[in-house]
Amino acid sequence: MVIKRYLVNNMTEAMTRIRYELGSNAVIVSTRRIRQRGILGLFKPQVLEVTAAVENRQDTGPALSNAGKIMNAGDSQTAEKGQTAAGLQGDEAKKADETESRLEKELKELKQLVTMLISQAGQTGEASKDYIERVINHLRDMDVDEEIIEGFSVECGNAPEANAGPEAVTRYFENILSNCIASRSMNEKVWALIGPTGVGKTTTIAKIAAQEMLYNKKSVGLITLDTYRIGAVEQLRTYAGILNIPLEIVYTKADLINALEKLGHCDLIMIDSTGRSSLNRDQLLETRDLLDVVEDKRNILVVSATTRKNDLKAIVQNYEAIGFDSIILTKMDETQYYGNIINISKYSDKPICYITTGQVVPDDIREVTREDLLDYILTGVRT
Protein backbone atom coordinates (compact mmCIF):
# COMPACT_ATOMS: atom_id res chain seq x y z
CA MET A 1 0.00 0.00 0.00
CA VAL A 2 1.19 3.44 -0.88
CA ILE A 3 0.22 6.26 1.52
CA LYS A 4 0.93 9.91 0.70
CA ARG A 5 0.22 13.18 2.44
CA TYR A 6 -0.57 16.36 0.51
CA LEU A 7 -0.57 19.98 1.66
CA VAL A 8 -2.94 21.89 -0.62
CA ASN A 9 -5.07 25.03 -0.66
CA ASN A 10 -8.36 23.28 -1.40
CA MET A 11 -9.93 19.93 -2.15
CA THR A 12 -9.90 20.49 -5.90
CA GLU A 13 -6.13 20.80 -5.90
CA ALA A 14 -5.87 17.68 -3.68
CA MET A 15 -8.04 15.52 -5.98
CA THR A 16 -6.06 16.59 -9.03
CA ARG A 17 -2.72 15.67 -7.48
CA ILE A 18 -3.99 12.38 -6.00
CA ARG A 19 -5.46 11.20 -9.31
CA TYR A 20 -2.30 12.18 -11.15
CA GLU A 21 0.14 10.54 -8.72
CA LEU A 22 -1.82 7.58 -7.26
CA GLY A 23 -4.44 6.95 -9.87
CA SER A 24 -8.22 6.80 -9.81
CA ASN A 25 -8.28 3.91 -7.31
CA ALA A 26 -6.72 5.99 -4.57
CA VAL A 27 -8.85 6.69 -1.55
CA ILE A 28 -8.73 9.64 0.78
CA VAL A 29 -8.01 8.51 4.28
CA SER A 30 -8.24 11.82 6.16
CA THR A 31 -8.40 15.60 5.76
CA ARG A 32 -7.66 18.40 8.23
CA ARG A 33 -6.70 22.06 8.36
CA ILE A 34 -3.22 22.77 9.70
CA ARG A 35 -1.07 25.88 10.09
CA GLN A 36 2.24 25.95 8.26
CA ARG A 37 5.43 26.28 10.18
CA GLY A 38 6.60 29.84 10.70
CA ILE A 39 7.75 32.18 13.40
CA LEU A 40 5.80 30.92 16.41
CA GLY A 41 3.26 29.57 13.94
CA LEU A 42 2.31 33.07 12.86
CA PHE A 43 2.25 34.96 9.56
CA LYS A 44 1.42 31.89 7.43
CA PRO A 45 -2.11 30.86 6.39
CA GLN A 46 -3.67 27.51 7.16
CA VAL A 47 -3.59 24.79 4.49
CA LEU A 48 -5.50 21.59 3.89
CA GLU A 49 -3.67 18.36 4.74
CA VAL A 50 -5.04 15.40 2.74
CA THR A 51 -3.84 11.83 3.31
CA ALA A 52 -4.51 9.37 0.44
CA ALA A 53 -3.71 5.66 -0.03
CA VAL A 54 -3.68 3.11 -2.85
CA GLU A 55 -2.97 -0.65 -2.70
CA ASN A 56 -0.73 -2.81 -4.92
CA ARG A 57 0.72 0.04 -6.97
CA GLN A 58 3.66 -0.82 -9.23
CA ASP A 59 4.59 2.81 -9.64
CA THR A 60 3.36 6.18 -8.51
CA GLY A 61 3.57 7.92 -11.86
CA PRO A 62 0.81 8.87 -14.28
CA ALA A 63 0.66 5.35 -15.83
CA LEU A 64 -1.56 3.08 -13.78
CA SER A 65 -0.67 -0.55 -12.98
CA ASN A 66 -3.24 -3.32 -13.56
CA ALA A 67 -1.94 -5.06 -10.49
CA GLY A 68 -3.73 -2.60 -8.36
CA LYS A 69 -7.01 -3.81 -9.87
CA ILE A 70 -6.54 -7.49 -8.88
CA MET A 71 -8.01 -8.11 -5.48
CA ASN A 72 -8.91 -11.18 -3.51
CA ALA A 73 -12.25 -11.72 -1.91
CA GLY A 74 -11.13 -10.22 1.33
CA ASP A 75 -9.61 -7.26 -0.43
CA SER A 76 -12.81 -6.77 -2.44
CA GLN A 77 -14.70 -5.80 0.68
CA THR A 78 -11.89 -3.45 1.60
CA ALA A 79 -11.97 -1.99 -1.91
CA GLU A 80 -15.73 -1.49 -1.70
CA LYS A 81 -15.29 0.35 1.59
CA GLY A 82 -12.52 2.39 0.02
CA GLN A 83 -14.70 3.21 -2.97
CA THR A 84 -17.49 4.25 -0.64
CA ALA A 85 -15.06 6.49 1.24
CA ALA A 86 -13.78 7.82 -2.06
CA GLY A 87 -17.36 8.56 -3.10
CA LEU A 88 -17.97 10.46 0.08
CA GLN A 89 -14.73 12.37 -0.34
CA GLY A 90 -15.75 13.06 -3.94
CA ASP A 91 -19.01 14.57 -2.75
CA GLU A 92 -17.06 16.68 -0.27
CA ALA A 93 -14.77 17.82 -3.08
CA LYS A 94 -17.80 18.67 -5.24
CA LYS A 95 -19.35 20.70 -2.43
CA ALA A 96 -16.02 22.45 -1.89
CA ASP A 97 -15.86 23.30 -5.59
CA GLU A 98 -19.41 24.62 -5.53
CA THR A 99 -18.64 26.74 -2.44
CA GLU A 100 -15.51 28.10 -4.06
CA SER A 101 -17.43 28.89 -7.25
CA ARG A 102 -20.12 30.70 -5.27
CA LEU A 103 -17.52 32.72 -3.36
CA GLU A 104 -15.80 33.67 -6.61
CA LYS A 105 -19.14 34.83 -8.01
CA GLU A 106 -19.92 36.88 -4.88
CA LEU A 107 -16.43 38.38 -4.96
CA LYS A 108 -16.92 39.36 -8.58
CA GLU A 109 -20.28 40.99 -7.78
CA LEU A 110 -18.71 42.81 -4.82
CA LYS A 111 -15.95 44.18 -7.06
CA GLN A 112 -18.57 45.39 -9.53
CA LEU A 113 -20.50 47.09 -6.70
CA VAL A 114 -17.36 48.81 -5.38
CA THR A 115 -16.50 50.00 -8.88
CA MET A 116 -20.01 51.41 -9.31
CA LEU A 117 -19.90 53.20 -5.92
CA ILE A 118 -16.51 54.71 -6.73
CA SER A 119 -17.88 55.91 -10.05
CA GLN A 120 -20.96 57.42 -8.39
CA ALA A 121 -18.78 59.09 -5.75
CA GLY A 122 -16.69 60.61 -8.49
CA GLN A 123 -19.79 61.90 -10.24
CA THR A 124 -21.12 63.30 -6.95
CA GLY A 125 -17.80 65.00 -6.29
CA GLU A 126 -17.84 66.60 -9.72
CA ALA A 127 -21.44 67.73 -9.23
CA SER A 128 -20.55 69.26 -5.85
CA LYS A 129 -17.58 71.10 -7.34
CA ASP A 130 -19.77 72.41 -10.15
CA TYR A 131 -22.35 73.63 -7.64
CA ILE A 132 -19.74 75.37 -5.48
CA GLU A 133 -18.30 77.05 -8.56
CA ARG A 134 -21.79 78.19 -9.55
CA VAL A 135 -22.35 79.66 -6.06
CA ILE A 136 -19.01 81.49 -6.22
CA ASN A 137 -19.88 83.03 -9.59
CA HIS A 138 -23.30 83.97 -8.23
CA LEU A 139 -21.77 85.71 -5.22
CA ARG A 140 -19.53 87.72 -7.52
CA ASP A 141 -22.57 88.70 -9.58
CA MET A 142 -24.25 89.77 -6.33
CA ASP A 143 -21.29 92.13 -5.66
CA VAL A 144 -20.29 90.27 -2.51
CA ASP A 145 -17.00 91.29 -0.95
CA GLU A 146 -14.15 89.19 -2.35
CA GLU A 147 -12.88 88.24 1.11
CA ILE A 148 -16.28 86.76 1.92
CA ILE A 149 -16.18 84.77 -1.33
CA GLU A 150 -12.68 83.56 -0.54
CA GLY A 151 -13.78 82.42 2.92
CA PHE A 152 -16.73 80.56 1.42
CA SER A 153 -14.48 78.92 -1.18
CA VAL A 154 -12.07 77.69 1.48
CA GLU A 155 -14.85 76.46 3.78
CA CYS A 156 -17.09 74.75 1.24
CA GLY A 157 -14.93 74.40 -1.87
CA ASN A 158 -12.38 72.20 -0.12
CA ALA A 159 -14.89 70.34 2.01
CA PRO A 160 -15.82 66.67 1.47
CA GLU A 161 -18.68 66.13 -0.98
CA ALA A 162 -21.12 65.66 1.90
CA ASN A 163 -20.32 69.21 3.06
CA ALA A 164 -20.31 70.84 -0.33
CA GLY A 165 -23.89 70.48 -1.59
CA PRO A 166 -26.85 72.88 -1.53
CA GLU A 167 -27.74 72.02 2.08
CA ALA A 168 -24.19 72.67 3.27
CA VAL A 169 -24.09 76.00 1.40
CA THR A 170 -27.39 77.00 2.99
CA ARG A 171 -26.07 76.12 6.47
CA TYR A 172 -22.89 78.13 5.82
CA PHE A 173 -24.80 81.33 5.05
CA GLU A 174 -27.41 80.69 7.74
CA ASN A 175 -24.61 80.74 10.31
CA ILE A 176 -23.32 84.05 8.98
CA LEU A 177 -26.76 85.65 8.77
CA SER A 178 -27.69 84.51 12.29
CA ASN A 179 -25.50 87.33 13.59
CA CYS A 180 -26.96 89.86 11.13
CA ILE A 181 -30.48 89.94 12.54
CA ALA A 182 -31.59 92.31 15.26
CA SER A 183 -33.60 91.09 18.19
CA ARG A 184 -37.18 92.34 18.20
CA SER A 185 -36.63 93.61 21.74
CA MET A 186 -35.75 97.15 20.62
CA ASN A 187 -37.23 98.71 23.72
CA GLU A 188 -35.57 102.11 23.65
CA LYS A 189 -38.10 104.94 23.72
CA VAL A 190 -36.29 107.06 21.11
CA TRP A 191 -35.20 105.78 17.69
CA ALA A 192 -32.92 108.15 15.79
CA LEU A 193 -32.43 107.36 12.11
CA ILE A 194 -29.04 108.47 10.76
CA GLY A 195 -27.38 107.99 7.40
CA PRO A 196 -26.35 109.60 4.10
CA THR A 197 -28.60 111.79 1.99
CA GLY A 198 -31.06 110.05 -0.28
CA VAL A 199 -31.25 106.65 1.39
CA GLY A 200 -34.93 107.07 2.38
CA LYS A 201 -34.80 107.98 6.07
CA THR A 202 -37.96 110.12 6.04
CA THR A 203 -40.12 107.57 4.22
CA THR A 204 -38.75 104.81 6.42
CA ILE A 205 -39.70 106.73 9.56
CA ALA A 206 -43.25 107.11 8.24
CA LYS A 207 -43.48 103.36 7.56
CA ILE A 208 -42.22 102.37 11.01
CA ALA A 209 -44.44 104.93 12.74
CA ALA A 210 -47.51 103.66 10.91
CA GLN A 211 -46.75 100.01 11.70
CA GLU A 212 -46.07 100.71 15.37
CA MET A 213 -49.41 102.53 15.61
CA LEU A 214 -51.48 100.04 13.64
CA TYR A 215 -49.98 96.73 14.72
CA ASN A 216 -48.36 97.36 18.10
CA LYS A 217 -50.93 99.96 19.28
CA LYS A 218 -48.23 102.45 20.32
CA SER A 219 -48.54 106.20 20.47
CA VAL A 220 -45.82 107.70 18.29
CA GLY A 221 -44.30 111.17 18.06
CA LEU A 222 -41.99 112.53 15.33
CA ILE A 223 -39.02 114.90 15.49
CA THR A 224 -37.16 116.18 12.45
CA LEU A 225 -33.64 117.61 12.48
CA ASP A 226 -33.57 117.80 8.68
CA THR A 227 -34.12 121.50 8.16
CA TYR A 228 -31.48 121.74 5.42
CA ARG A 229 -33.06 119.66 2.68
CA ILE A 230 -35.75 121.48 0.73
CA GLY A 231 -39.16 119.90 1.29
CA ALA A 232 -37.95 117.52 4.01
CA VAL A 233 -40.02 119.13 6.77
CA GLU A 234 -43.12 119.33 4.58
CA GLN A 235 -42.78 115.68 3.61
CA LEU A 236 -42.66 114.53 7.21
CA ARG A 237 -45.45 116.97 8.16
CA THR A 238 -47.62 115.37 5.49
CA TYR A 239 -47.02 111.91 6.90
CA ALA A 240 -47.69 113.15 10.44
CA GLY A 241 -50.97 114.66 9.31
CA ILE A 242 -52.08 111.46 7.62
CA LEU A 243 -51.20 109.40 10.69
CA ASN A 244 -52.57 112.07 13.05
CA ILE A 245 -49.44 112.11 15.20
CA PRO A 246 -47.47 115.06 16.62
CA LEU A 247 -44.39 116.48 14.86
CA GLU A 248 -41.68 118.70 16.35
CA ILE A 249 -39.14 120.66 14.28
CA VAL A 250 -35.68 121.06 15.85
CA TYR A 251 -32.81 123.43 15.03
CA THR A 252 -30.72 123.39 18.21
CA LYS A 253 -29.96 121.27 21.25
CA ALA A 254 -32.39 123.34 23.30
CA ASP A 255 -35.13 122.73 20.70
CA LEU A 256 -34.44 119.00 20.87
CA ILE A 257 -34.67 118.93 24.66
CA ASN A 258 -37.98 120.82 24.53
CA ALA A 259 -39.33 118.53 21.81
CA LEU A 260 -38.52 115.43 23.86
CA GLU A 261 -40.36 116.90 26.82
CA LYS A 262 -43.43 117.70 24.71
CA LEU A 263 -43.51 114.15 23.34
CA GLY A 264 -42.79 112.54 26.68
CA HIS A 265 -46.25 110.97 26.77
CA CYS A 266 -45.54 108.96 23.59
CA ASP A 267 -44.57 105.29 23.68
CA LEU A 268 -42.11 105.79 20.82
CA ILE A 269 -40.36 108.94 19.56
CA MET A 270 -38.71 108.80 16.13
CA ILE A 271 -36.06 111.32 15.05
CA ASP A 272 -35.39 112.06 11.40
CA SER A 273 -31.81 113.37 11.27
CA THR A 274 -30.16 115.38 8.53
CA GLY A 275 -28.46 113.36 5.81
CA ARG A 276 -24.69 113.54 6.19
CA SER A 277 -21.88 112.50 3.87
CA SER A 278 -19.81 109.77 5.47
CA LEU A 279 -16.72 111.55 4.15
CA ASN A 280 -17.48 114.77 6.07
CA ARG A 281 -16.34 114.02 9.59
CA ASP A 282 -17.23 117.49 10.91
CA GLN A 283 -20.87 117.03 9.92
CA LEU A 284 -20.94 113.57 11.50
CA LEU A 285 -19.56 114.94 14.75
CA GLU A 286 -22.14 117.76 14.65
CA THR A 287 -24.95 115.21 14.43
CA ARG A 288 -23.43 113.18 17.24
CA ASP A 289 -23.16 116.26 19.43
CA LEU A 290 -26.84 117.05 18.85
CA LEU A 291 -28.02 113.50 19.58
CA ASP A 292 -25.90 113.19 22.70
CA VAL A 293 -28.57 115.08 24.66
CA VAL A 294 -31.01 112.20 24.08
CA GLU A 295 -31.12 109.41 26.66
CA ASP A 296 -32.56 105.94 26.21
CA LYS A 297 -32.17 106.08 22.43
CA ARG A 298 -31.31 103.66 19.65
CA ASN A 299 -29.32 105.04 16.72
CA ILE A 300 -30.24 103.21 13.52
CA LEU A 301 -28.03 103.58 10.44
CA VAL A 302 -30.02 103.68 7.20
CA VAL A 303 -28.15 102.57 4.06
CA SER A 304 -29.30 101.77 0.55
CA ALA A 305 -29.00 98.30 -0.96
CA THR A 306 -27.98 99.99 -4.22
CA THR A 307 -24.76 101.36 -2.69
CA ARG A 308 -21.50 100.00 -4.07
CA LYS A 309 -19.78 97.69 -1.61
CA ASN A 310 -16.71 99.93 -1.20
CA ASP A 311 -18.92 102.95 -0.51
CA LEU A 312 -21.00 100.87 1.92
CA LYS A 313 -17.82 99.92 3.75
CA ALA A 314 -16.82 103.58 4.08
CA ILE A 315 -20.31 104.58 5.28
CA VAL A 316 -20.44 101.90 7.94
CA GLN A 317 -16.96 102.63 9.20
CA ASN A 318 -17.26 106.43 9.20
CA TYR A 319 -20.67 106.48 10.86
CA GLU A 320 -19.06 104.80 13.83
CA ALA A 321 -18.10 108.39 14.69
CA ILE A 322 -21.75 108.91 15.65
CA GLY A 323 -22.33 105.37 16.82
CA PHE A 324 -25.24 103.14 15.86
CA ASP A 325 -26.95 100.06 17.25
CA SER A 326 -28.59 98.49 14.21
CA ILE A 327 -29.07 98.96 10.46
CA ILE A 328 -31.95 99.41 8.04
CA LEU A 329 -31.30 98.37 4.44
CA THR A 330 -33.52 100.32 2.04
CA LYS A 331 -34.40 100.21 -1.67
CA MET A 332 -34.27 96.44 -2.02
CA ASP A 333 -36.74 96.88 -4.87
CA GLU A 334 -34.30 99.04 -6.83
CA THR A 335 -31.58 96.45 -7.33
CA GLN A 336 -31.06 92.85 -8.39
CA TYR A 337 -27.77 92.58 -6.57
CA TYR A 338 -28.21 91.81 -2.89
CA GLY A 339 -24.60 91.26 -1.88
CA ASN A 340 -24.73 94.14 0.61
CA ILE A 341 -26.85 91.97 2.89
CA ILE A 342 -23.86 89.74 3.49
CA ASN A 343 -21.31 92.54 3.11
CA ILE A 344 -22.79 94.28 6.15
CA SER A 345 -21.89 91.23 8.22
CA LYS A 346 -18.23 91.81 7.35
CA TYR A 347 -18.14 95.60 7.64
CA SER A 348 -20.02 95.84 10.94
CA ASP A 349 -21.00 93.76 13.93
CA LYS A 350 -24.35 95.56 14.11
CA PRO A 351 -27.47 93.66 13.01
CA ILE A 352 -30.05 94.50 10.36
CA CYS A 353 -33.48 95.23 11.84
CA TYR A 354 -35.55 96.21 8.76
CA ILE A 355 -35.47 96.11 4.98
CA THR A 356 -37.65 98.28 2.75
CA THR A 357 -38.99 97.13 -0.59
CA GLY A 358 -40.81 100.15 -2.07
CA GLN A 359 -42.41 103.55 -1.44
CA VAL A 360 -45.81 102.43 -0.14
CA VAL A 361 -46.46 103.47 3.47
CA PRO A 362 -46.67 101.40 5.63
CA ASP A 363 -46.58 98.17 3.62
CA ASP A 364 -43.14 98.21 1.99
CA ILE A 365 -41.07 97.55 5.08
CA ARG A 366 -40.58 94.43 7.15
CA GLU A 367 -38.53 93.12 9.99
CA VAL A 368 -35.88 90.77 8.71
CA THR A 369 -35.61 87.04 9.27
CA ARG A 370 -32.72 84.75 8.50
CA GLU A 371 -34.79 82.92 5.90
CA ASP A 372 -35.73 86.20 4.23
CA LEU A 373 -32.14 87.36 3.92
CA LEU A 374 -31.04 83.93 2.76
CA ASP A 375 -33.57 84.01 -0.04
CA TYR A 376 -32.12 87.31 -1.24
CA ILE A 377 -28.54 86.03 -1.05
CA LEU A 378 -29.11 82.72 -2.84
CA THR A 379 -31.90 83.80 -5.19
CA GLY A 380 -31.25 82.27 -8.60
CA VAL A 381 -28.52 79.87 -7.51
CA ARG A 382 -30.82 77.48 -5.66
CA THR A 383 -32.51 76.49 -8.88
Weakest-pLDDT range from 103-107, 226-230, 260-264, 324-328: 103-107
Q: What is the mean pLDDT of the chain?
A: 81
pLDDT in tens, 115-171: 555 554 444 445 567 888 888 999 999 999 999 999 888 877 665 554 557 788 888
d(CA 182, CA 31) in angstroms, rounded, equals: 81
Residue 325's contacts (CB-CB under 8 Å, 6 or more residues apart) are 298, 299, 300, 350
Average of pLDDT values for 85-91?
59
Average of pLDDT values for 322-327?
94
What are the boundaries of each domain within the chain? 2-104, 109-175, 185-378
Task: Write down the number of H helices and E strands in the chain.
Answer: 11, 11
Weakest-pLDDT range from 75-84, 256-265, 300-309, 312-321: 75-84
d(CA 181, CA 369) in angstroms, rounded, equals: 7
At 324, the pLDDT band (50, 70, 90 cuts) reads very high
Question: Given 3.90.930.60, 3.40.50.300, 3.40.710.10, 3.90.1480.20, which CATH number is that of 185-378?
Answer: 3.40.50.300
pLDDT in tens, 23-76: 888 888 888 888 766 554 445 677 888 888 887 645 444 444 443 443 444 455
Q: Is 39 exposed, middle or buried (0-12, 13-18, 19+ CB in 10 A)?
A: exposed
pLDDT in tens, 278-290: 999 999 999 999 9
Of 333, 326, 311, the closest CA to residue 179 belongs to 326
**What per-residue confidence (pLDDT) applies to 210?**
95
Weakest-pLDDT range from 79-88, 118-127, 346-355: 118-127
Contact 283, 321 (CB under 8 A): no
d(CA 350, CA 327) in angstroms, rounded, equals: 7
Dihedral sign (CA 110, 116, 118, 124) = negative
At 364, the pLDDT band (50, 70, 90 cuts) reads very high
Of 126, 113, 109, 89, the closest CA to residue 15 belongs to 89
Average of pLDDT values for 249-254?
93
pLDDT at residue 173 tops 70: yes
What is the pairing mode between strands 46-54 and 190-194?
Answer: unpaired
Average of pLDDT values for 243-270?
95
Q: Is 304 exposed, middle or buried (0-12, 13-18, 19+ CB in 10 A)?
A: buried
